[in-house]
Structure 1
Amino acid sequence: MTQAELFFPRPATPPSPLFHFHEPATAAALEDNEDEPRDAFSAKLIDYPHSSADAVRVAEQRFRRELEKQLGADVLPAMRAFQNASESSDTDLTKREIALAARWVKAYDAARTAGFRDLGDTDEAYFEVKAI
């Protein structure tokens, strides 16, 4: 290496266009990802008699994770269908709403079981789900 190379280095050559580490997103991939953003919701443990914030946080996370596992992107639509089914008669609902409401009942029960797994005595406690 000469002094000129040491003090006046040549600019680095740009990488070859043949090597792309990240492929640009195609239109088809973007369309698939449009379904990915899920409606935001919160799950909060209500009327839990103990004050352990860590236990409550872990229970809420387990509840939310199980609810998302059971329903996927249909968490809020299923919750709304269940609320509609609770407030109206079967003749006012579509078959899809009835099916979503039934899925909500099963998913909520599984999520409640997962959430309460390590909490012990929780007779009056419940999980409240709200859209954010």
Structure 2
Amino acid sequence: MMYTITLQDPPSDTPERARSDAEHRFQRTLERALGGPENVIAAYRAWQTAEETSEAEMSDEDMAMAKKWFAAASRARNDGLRDLGETEAWFEVRLAK
């Protein structure tokens, strides 16, 4: 795995299986939307750059990838959390070093 997904701040009574299933759904949705693990990493890096850089300083390709990340991550969050009900939980993405 070139990156990890971790569900953060789920409800305290969330079973480990539900947490694992949510992380898997989030990852699967990201990879389908972006075209595989390598593209997930590229889009995530572009999004990180966009968060720290002005749009004028970014290439058109990186800006497009950042926008793809934003859309895919939003969809993946909805898919990942669908069985957990109302929650403030979120997914952390960590790239392998």
TM-score for the superposition, normalised by structure 1: 0.67
Specify the code of the residue in structure 2 equivalent to 1:120.
Answer: G
Give the 5 Å matches for 1:69-88.
69-72=32-35, 73-88=38-53
Q: Does 1:47 align with 2:9?
A: yes
Where relative contact order (Cα < 8 A, 6+ residues apart) is larger, the structure is 2
CA distance in 2 between partners of 1:89 and 1:97 (Å): 12
Task: Please state whether the residue corresponding to 1:130 is helix, strand or coil.
Answer: strand
Deviation at 1:64, TM superposition (A): 0.4
CA distance in 2 between partners of 1:68 and 1:130 (Å): 15
What's the % identity of the aligned pairs?
41
How many aligned positions are there?
A: 93
Task: Please state whether the residue corresponding to 1:127 is helix, strand or coil.
Answer: strand
Which has the higher Rg, Structure 1 or Structure 2?
Answer: 1
Q: Does 1:100 align with 2:62?
A: no
Which structure is higher in helix share?
2
Structure 1 unaligned runs (5+)?
A: 1-38
CA distance in 1 between partners of 2:34 and 2:70 (Å): 11
CA distance in 2 between partners of 1:125 and 1:51 (Å): 11
Give the 5 Å matches for 1:14-29.
none
TM-score for the superposition, normalised by structure 2: 0.91
Who is 1:68 aligned against? Answer: 31
CA-to-aligned-CA distance 1:56-100 (integer Å, 9 cap, x gap):
000000000000000123101100101111111011100000000
Structure 2 unaligned runs (5+)?
A: none
Specify the code of the residue in structure 1 equivalent to 2:90.
Answer: Y
Deviation at 1:51, TM superposition (A): 3.4
Q: Which runs of 4+ in 1 moved over 3 A?
A: none
